[in-house]
């Protein structure tokens, strides 16, 4: 799903601030062994490498890792790029000082499996850092809007935006991670003139939206899908009709692994 559309260009259009924000929140510095889970094109991995860390960027989608490798190469950085499922990481126990994920691990279907893996590969006393869209924020609402049109999720899957809930994280990690930072922040988006251009951008470039639209088309509900997405854009526009502005809420959770 994440190889469809053009996720790398979405990152360039409005997601770039998230990676450096997570790297800063995790306190990443020279010599640290850092694992970025569901790293995509390296939005967090690349700034971590720029901070001097020894970075492994892992993701399920080889096309995105390849785009990340090119970006890192252009910046003169060397990172390790590894194809990996967040639910079964191919790394040894306690092998990283920092295990982080920027709007990434949240998209693997089985949350408990992912949480177990994040804990397993992080050394005791190390840092687990997660940046996730919140259920109450704009992307949480986008997933609720798309849900009725989307293909059925895999068995056992839970909704991605749950990772942006403090209670859900407490349930997933229990006493294994002491979250010292749990902060909600906004990503402001001013890249679109008219509000519905935001929806068009998602239909063209964002895997989950492309999948929902294709499924709606199959069941003869594409017009209904388009109307729902237009209404969503109008509802969440905080600017004007010809100068759109959106705010996407995310949770930054930084904790120490017991």
Ligand X SMILES: C[S@@+](CC[C@H](N)C(=O)[O-])C[C@H]1O[C@@H](n2cnc3c(N)ncnc32)[C@H](O)[C@@H]1O
Contact residues: ligand X, CB under 6 A: 2, 11, 15, 18-19, 38-40, 43-44, 59-61, 64, 85-87, 102-104, 107-108
Provide CB contacts within 8 A for 158, sequence distance 6+: 109, 110, 111
**Least distance to ligand X from the beta carbon of 186, Å?**
16
| Minimum CB distance to ligand X smaller for 11 or for 48 | 11
**Least distance to ligand X from the beta carbon of 211, Å?**
12
Provide CB contacts within 8 A for 3, sequence distance 6+: 61, 62, 63, 64, 207
Distance CA 195, CA 129 (A): 32
| Minimum CB distance to ligand X smaller for 77 or for 222 | 77
Q: Contact 199/172 with Cβ under 8 angstroms?
A: no
**Least distance to ligand X from the beta carbon of 156, Å?**
12
| Minimum CB distance to ligand X smaller for 107 or for 232 | 107
How many helices and strands, by DSSP H and E, does the chain display?
10, 7
**CA 6 and chain centroid, separation:** 15
Q: What's the start-to-end Cα distance of the chain, in Å?
A: 35
| Minimum CB distance to ligand X smaller for 13 or for 165 | 13
Closest residue to ligand X, judged by C-beta, is 40
Q: Residue with structure tokens 């399920």?
A: 60
| Minimum CB distance to ligand X smaller for 187 or for 244 | 187
**Least distance to ligand X from the beta carbon of 228, Å?**
21
**Least distance to ligand X from the beta carbon of 103, Å?**
5
**Least distance to ligand X from the beta carbon of 80, Å?**
15
Distance CA 66, CA 244 (A): 33
Q: Contact 4/207 with Cβ under 8 angstroms?
A: yes
φ/ψ region of 130 (left if φ > 0, alpha if ψ in -120 to 50, else beta) reads: beta
| Minimum CB distance to ligand X smaller for 5 or for 104 | 104
Cα-only R_g, the chain: 18
């Amino acid at each position: 799903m994440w190889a469809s559309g053009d996720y790398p260009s979405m990152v360039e259009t409005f997601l770039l601030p998230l990676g450096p924000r997570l790297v800063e929140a995790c306190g990443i510095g020279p010599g640290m062994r850092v694992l970025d889970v569901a790293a995509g094109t390296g939005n967090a991995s690349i700034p971590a490498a720029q901070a001097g860390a020894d970075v492994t960027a892992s993701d399920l989608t080889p096309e995105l890792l390849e785009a990340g490798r090119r970006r890192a190469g252009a910046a003169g950085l060397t990172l390790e790029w590894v194809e990996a499922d967040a639910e079964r990481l191919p790394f040894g126990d306690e092998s990283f000082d920092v295990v982080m994920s920027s709007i990434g691990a949240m998209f693997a279907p089985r949350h408990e499996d992912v949480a177990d893996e994040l804990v397993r590969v992080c050394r005791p006393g190390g840092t687990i850092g997660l940046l996730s869209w919140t259920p109450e924020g704009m992307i949480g609402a986008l997933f609720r809007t798309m849900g009725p049109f989307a293909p059925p999720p895999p068995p056992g899957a839970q909704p991605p935006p749950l990772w942006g809930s403090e209670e859900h994280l407490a349930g997933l990690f229990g006493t294994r991670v002491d979250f010292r930072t749990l902060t909600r922040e906004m990503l402001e988006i001013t890249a679109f003139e008219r509000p519905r251009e935001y929806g068009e951008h998602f239909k063209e470039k964002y895997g989950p939206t492309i999948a929902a639209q294709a499924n709606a088309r199959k069941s003869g509900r594409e017009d209904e899908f388009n109307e729902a997405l237009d209404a969503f854009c109008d509802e969440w526009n905080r600017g004007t009709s010809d100068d759109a502005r959106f705010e996407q809420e995310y949770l930054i959770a930084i904790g120490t692994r017991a």
